């Protein structure tokens, strides 16, 4: 009898103890953070402070200790990301102000290191895109007769960029699976007045946040059928290589190789261009930023984008300014209107974005550009909750390219339209095509959960984890609870 009573007392004590712990996790985590900070274990201190903040602790003292624990740690991109995330929390106090001052000083030191740059024009769809490793490989695709000096001058431009960056960037020719393809087209679509803008252009090939390839498309001749000269090819290659390594904008300074009308100056003067300090520093700095879109995992870099470019509003402001400048300089080219549409879409000004894309559609002179226009229109109508129009533009885009990103968009449109049969079919196709993509598994799982088909949802998770065991503890799966138990 006594043993039973003792057992009952023990179980009650255990129950209420666990109940207390569960109801006071925030205080306990905060206390553990304080303990580890005092014992100089900054990594553990950050871990427990973050858990406390997630549960609603907003104590200024604890927040200040958390900031100090990061500032006194190695300032790698992980620490930088934590500080950036901290200032975005909806709490205004001394800890936040300290963090903002620290990040401001950090940003100022970066730009002192790389002066006279124009990195603010680098983003693509408000994201940093670049190759994650070197050497960056390239190869040529010849359609018909290509004068040998075209190949020679493009390769000379690669060599010049290697020297200019003190071999921070390396390039090598690779016929099997190059990062950059350089192709040539004899028929120049520009008229006599516009020809100065059309020597070459660069198109990225993406799959979600994966950079698959860049293609530089050169024209061999001017509209009057004269071949471009060696200097014109070299100067254009210097410019387009920067696009192909991830810089997707232009400079406002006519002395820089990335000035919008640099091709014009090259054609008129036919003299070899030289790289400026701003050109070189911009490229060097680009390859110090941790990319949002790249070709391999994990993405590496010394600085997070925020520290170099500022927040989303800063990035979008720079992109809008650049797009308008591009349109002013080259009103007959579609790319400026595409960039302007993307900046409007980022601000959810969808009507303006559609208007800009419709102008780009009227000016589109290649299948690649038409694909980009229709894809972006599909995305915008998707965000406007108009799946009918979104599907219509996706189908237009499919007439020009059948890409993984386009099929992913179509799957999302079907899901939004509650056309689950087609959404499931499309996601199953995408998973067969790319079984490593966690987003496909997550989205298909969510569809089955919404349909209360839990066994099928669990099956999707199980298959993904079996094929990708490294994803077993991925935060994207945390919300599935019992569904992923024992997988």
Write the pLDDT tens digit of every residue in 2-12: 555 555 555 45
> What share of the chain in percent tops pLDDT 90?
50
Domain ranges of the chain: 2-113, 136-311, 418-487
Q: How does pLDDT run across 202-245, given as a tens digit for each residue?
A: 988 887 788 999 999 998 887 777 888 999 999 999 999 999 99
Query: What distance in Å separates the CA atoms of residue 133 and residue 318, rounded to the nearest whole number?
Result: 27
Token readout for 8 is 């009952």
What's the average model confidence in pLDDT over 472-477?
A: 76
Count CB-CB contacts under 10 A for residue 469.
10
Please give the model's pTM, rounded to 2 decimal places. 0.77
Q: Does residue 485 have a pLDDT over 80?
A: no
Please determine whether the domains at 136-311 and 418-487 fall in the same fold group of CATH: no
CATH number, span 136-311: 3.40.390.10
What's the average model confidence in pLDDT over 105-129?
A: 92
3 state SS of 213: strand
263: confidence class by pLDDT, cuts 50, 70, 90: very low
Distances (CA, A) of 259 to 109, 114, 115, 239: 26, 19, 17, 9
β-pair type (136-141, 180-185): parallel
Question: What is the DSSP secondary-structure string of 355-379?
Answer: HHHHHHHHH--SHHHHHHHHHHHHH
The values of phi and psi at residue 271, to 5°, are -125, 150
Residues 6+ apart with CB under 8 A from 332: 193, 194, 197, 363
Could you name the CATH architecture of 2-113? Alpha Horseshoe (1.25)
In this structure, of 13-22, 43-52, 261-270, 359-368, the range with the lowest mean pLDDT score is 13-22
β-pair type (171-173, 136-141): parallel
The values of phi and psi at residue 207, to 5°, are -130, 95
Q: Does residue 42 have a pLDDT over 70?
A: yes
CATH of the structural domain 418-487, one choice from 2.40.360, 1.20.144, 3.30.750, 1.25.40: 1.25.40
């Amino acid at each position: 009898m006594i043993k039973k009573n003792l057992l009952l007392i023990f179980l009650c004590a255990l129950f209420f103890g666990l109940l207390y712990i569960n109801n006071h996790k925030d205080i306990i985590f905060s206390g553990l953070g304080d303990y580890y900070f005092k014992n100089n274990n900054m990594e553990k201190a950050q871990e427990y402070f973050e858990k406390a903040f997630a549960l609603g602790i907003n104590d200024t003292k604890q927040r200040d200790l958390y900031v100090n624990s990061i500032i006194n740690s190695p300032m790698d991109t992980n620490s930088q990301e934590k500080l950036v995330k901290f200032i975005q929390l909806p709490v205004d106090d001394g800890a936040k102000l300290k963090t903002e001052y620290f990040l401001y000083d950090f940003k100022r030191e970066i730009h002192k290191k790389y002066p006279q740059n124009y990195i603010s024009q680098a983003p693509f769809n408000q994201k940093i895109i670049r190759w994650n490793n070197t050497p960056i490989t390239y190869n040529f695709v010849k359609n018909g007769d290509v004068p040998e000096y075209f190949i020679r001058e493009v390769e000379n431009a690669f060599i010049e960029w290697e020297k200019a960056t003190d071999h921070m960037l390396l390039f090598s020719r690779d016929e099997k699976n190059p990062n950059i393809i350089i192709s040539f087209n004899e028929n120049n679509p520009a008229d006599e007045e516009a020809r100065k803008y059309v020597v070459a252009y660069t198109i990225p090939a993406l799959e979600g946040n994966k950079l698959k390839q860049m293609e530089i498309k050169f024209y061999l001749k001017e509209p009057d059928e004269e071949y471009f000269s060696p200097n014109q090819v070299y100067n254009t290659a210097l410019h387009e290589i920067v696009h192909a390594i991830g810089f997707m904008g232009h400079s406002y300074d006519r002395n820089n190789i990335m000035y919008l009308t640099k091709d014009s100056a090259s054609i008129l003067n036919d003299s070899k261009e030289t790289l400026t300090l701003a050109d070189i520093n911009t490229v060097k700095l680009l390859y110090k930023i941790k990319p949002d879109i790249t070709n391999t995992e994990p993405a590496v870099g010394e600085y997070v984008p925020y520290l170099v470019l500022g927040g989303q509003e800063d990035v979008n402001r720079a992109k809008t300014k650049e797009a308008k400048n591009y349109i002013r300089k080259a009103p007959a080219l579609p790319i400026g209107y595409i960039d302007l549409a993307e900046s409007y879409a980022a601000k959810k000004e969808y009507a303006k974005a559609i208007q800009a894309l419709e102008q780009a559609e009227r000016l589109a002179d290649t299948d690649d550009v038409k694909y980009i226009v229709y894809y972006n229109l599909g995305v915008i109508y998707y965000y406007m909750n108009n799946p009918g129009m979104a599907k219509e533009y996706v189908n237009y885009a499919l007439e020009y390219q059948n890409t993984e990103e386009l099929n992913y968009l179509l799957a999302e449109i079907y899901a939004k339209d509650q056309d689950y049969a087609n959404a499931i079919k499309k996601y199953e196709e995408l998973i067969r095509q790319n079984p490593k993509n966690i987003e496909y598994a997550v989205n298909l799982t969510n569809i089955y959960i919404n349909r209360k088909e839990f066994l099928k949802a669990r099956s999707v998770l199980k298959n993904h984890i079996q094929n990708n065991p490294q994803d077993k503890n991925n935060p994207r799966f945390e919300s599935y609870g019992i569904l992923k138990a024992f997988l």
